[in-house]
Amino acid sequence: MKKPASKIYRTTNWSSYNQALIKRGNISIWFDPQTQWHAQPQAKHGRNQTYSDTAIQCCLMIKSIFRLSLRMVTGFVQSLIQLSGLSWTAPDYSTLCRRQKQIDIAISYQKIHEGLHLLVDSTGLKFLGEGE
């Protein structure tokens, strides 16, 4: 039995093809300074949570998008926070591991032609772009 012949695709417009490949690697992440990063105190027994659900969700979403381990996410998010000029701290990996059981992360991967835009603001976490 013969293998089917593979299709040959020819690129005719190299400049737009190159621009499409460059845009594919574009990512923008914004942290709104008004975001509730640290959790509010609750009238419960025991220790209060340090980080809000939004902060944990942001870290877990970045983990899912980039397929990182929890320790790598901690370093990556901390560097993003520093680049944003904020005085927040990133949750450590044990906090992320414990809290990920309580938070569902649902990412709808849509074809976004202008790159991926992830917005963290006071209303929560959003993807921006075509088909948002």
pLDDT at 96: 93
Residue 29 confidence (pLDDT): 80
pLDDT of res. 127: 59
The 3-state secondary structure of 22-49 reads HHHCCEEEEECCCCCCECCCCCCCCCCC
What does pTM read for this prediction? 0.65
Q: Where are the domains of the chain?
A: 49-132
Question: What is the per-residue pLDDT for 79?
Answer: 92
* DSSP conformational letter for 2: P
The rounded average pLDDT for each run of 10 residues, N- to C-terminus, in the chain (132 residues) is 79 84 76 85 80 89 88 93 90 91 69 58 60 49
pLDDT at 112: 46
